[in-house]
Amino acid sequence: MRSKIVAGNWKMNNNLEQTEALLSELSAKLPDTDAEVMVAPTYVNLAGAVASLQGSKIEVIAQNMHFAENGAYTGEISGDMLLNIGVDTCIIGHSERRAYFGETDEILAKKVASALDQGIRVMFCFGEELEDRKSDNHFKVVERQLKNALFSLDASVWSKIILAYEPVWAIGTGETASPEQAQEMHAFIRNTIAEAYNSSIADKVSILYGGSVKPGNAKEIFSKPDVDGGLIGGASLVADDFVDIIKAI
Ligand code: 13P
């Protein structure tokens, strides 16, 4: 059985007070669920979030990390620092990091390998741009992103990987992939992993969908057999919306 996961990527939103207020509202309203529930606040609020969520089912995860364990990398954060404050899962490869911070497949491969090496669970994000889909290259692009960043990894680390397919054209645009488009791509991803590794690994990896998931469309997207949950941006900043999305799973 694959884990069902609903994760909120808060991106560069919420100062300290807003973080605490949202966490306490979420904790109070959290429905009973078998799904894993995660939130990714900004770096400066990670340790505080871990402290406020002691004993809660909600897990705090990070949005990014550097591949080096320490050293002269001004402004960066290491996996060791995350583990040290009780954060053991990190988003890597978000399209905003690729687009605005020059993160290439090569850099991401280093980040993923380093995170896994240090015992950090990786939520790896990838997805095609609008032009890729329009030119019917979306499967090729996704396959390349997976291959370049993940397929040199040893089979044994795959239990520590969560995948998040986020088509760039659906992020923050209000336009979402249709449930059929999501299912088609998720099945392709699972099949690609089965070919690169084996079907046991492919069957066990959770593949989340991200891109304008809202309370109104979550249920239908999550009902697809290869969609194991969602990575939620905007709607995760509103407690009632995030809670409704959790209920949808
Ligand atoms: P939105 O839900 O705001 O489209 O963002 C999705 C996302 O980028 C999550 O990582």
Mean pLDDT, consecutive 10-residue stretches, the chain (249 aa), reads 95 98 97 97 98 96 97 97 98 97 98 97 97 96 98 98 96 89 98 98 98 96 98 98 98
Regarding the beta carbon of 62 and ligand 1, being less than 6 Å apart is answered no
Q: Which run of H or E residues covers position 215?
A: helix 215-222
* Nearest Cα to Cα of residue 129 among 169, 161, 165, 100: 169
Note the pLDDT of residue 243: 98
Note the pLDDT of residue 1: 78
Instruction: List, as one string, the DSSP characters of 112-169.
Output: HHHHHHTT-EEEEEE---HHHHHTT-HHHHHHHHHHHHHTTS-GGGGGGEEEEE--GG
Regarding the beta carbon of 244 and ligand 1, being less than 6 Å apart is answered no
Q: Is 166 a catalytic residue?
A: yes
- Ramachandran region of residue 172, left (φ > 0), alpha (ψ -120 to 50) or beta? left
Note the pLDDT of residue 19: 98
Note the pLDDT of residue 173: 86
pTM of the model: 0.97
- Residue of 94, 103, 128, 138 marked catalytic: 94
Regarding the beta carbon of 213 and ligand 1, being less than 6 Å apart is answered yes
> Using CA atoms, how far apart are residues 12 and 94, in angstroms rounded to an integer?
13
User: Which backbone phi and psi does 22 adopt, to 5 degrees?
Assistant: -65, -40
Note the pLDDT of residue 146: 98
Q: What is the CA radius of gyration of the chain?
A: 17
Kindly report the protein residue whose alpha carbon is nearest to atom 5 of ligand 1: 233
User: Which backbone phi and psi does 89 adopt, to 5 degrees?
Assistant: -135, 140
Regarding the beta carbon of 208 and ligand 1, being less than 6 Å apart is answered no
Q: Is 195 a catalytic residue?
A: no
- Residue 92 CB partners (closer than 8 Å, separation 6+): 64, 65, 108, 111, 112, 115, 122, 123, 124, 125
Note the pLDDT of residue 172: 85
Secondary structure letter of residue 61 according to DSSP: -
- Residue 114 CB partners (closer than 8 Å, separation 6+): 65, 67, 68, 69, 79
Q: Which run of H or E residues covers position 95?
A: helix 95-100
Note the pLDDT of residue 9: 98
